[in-house]
Chain A
Amino acid sequence: GEEVAQTPKHLVRGEGQKAKLYCAPIKGHSYVFWYQQVLKNEFKFLISFQNENVFDETGMPKERFSAKCLPNSPCSLEIQATKLEDSAVYFCASSQVGTGTGGEKLFFGSGTQLSVL
């Protein structure tokens, strides 16, 4: 598609429940990035993929968070046993080339608002 599609737009989970978010990158883009936006403006990088391979996972919490990008499927970000502090907007972005190469223009989806109650 011509835009990054994220689903669902809103997700409500009770503490301890699992949450799974999906992202379809722009067609032809090889790189996918996940960011967490807490308290409206603080963006935190989580993980990036080059096709189905993890490219950079330095921002991923070691426990409870996992992500995948499989061929012919939307990418996914899964949070096991959600906590109150996981409440945030999760943005997915895609780009044609990797970061630091001079072509990294990231295109963002509209985000998934996760509320953990």
Chain B
Amino acid sequence: QKEVEQDPGPLSVPEGAIVSLNCTYSNSAFQYFMWYRQYSRKGPELLMYTYSSGNKEDGRFTAQVDKSSKYISLFIRDSQPSDSATYLCAMIQAGTALIFGKGTTLSVSS
């Protein structure tokens, strides 16, 4: 079993839809949870950063962490064509390297 599991999609939604992206993980020592967005031929760009369980909101983006279920989510409200990208979850425990999920490719059509 991989440490971080993420459905690669692709996921296609119409403009304005609510998008839900998810990752599960097996290592209960992970403490910090991140979502990165990667456009084609670019490096990943940090979107959301959370510590431990709970919700964090930033504009149209909401990140949720449920440590008891080892499950994290990213919600995108009012999705836009510019949100079309690959979304990677990432997580880390103290003193180790960032571990990425495989990424979910999202396409938002106008």
Contact = CB atoms under 8 A, between A and B. Distances in A.
A joins B in a complex: yes
Given A41-B86, A43-B88, A100-B92, A56 B43 contact: no
Contact of A104 (B8, B32, B103): B32
Interface residues of B, number: 26
Interface of B: 8, 31-32, 36, 41-46, 49, 51, 86, 88, 92-100, 102-103, 105
B46 A106 contact: yes
Nearest to A105: B46
Contacts, number: 62
B95 A99 contact: yes
A101 B92 CA distance: 10
A3 B95 CA distance: 24
A107 B97 contact: no
Contact of A99 (B45, B46, B88, B96): B96
B97 A56 contact: yes
B41 A110 contact: yes
Interface of A: 4, 33, 35, 40-43, 45, 48, 56, 58-59, 91, 93, 98-102, 104-111
Contacts of B41: 110-111
B21 to A, nearest CB: 13
Contacts of B51: 102
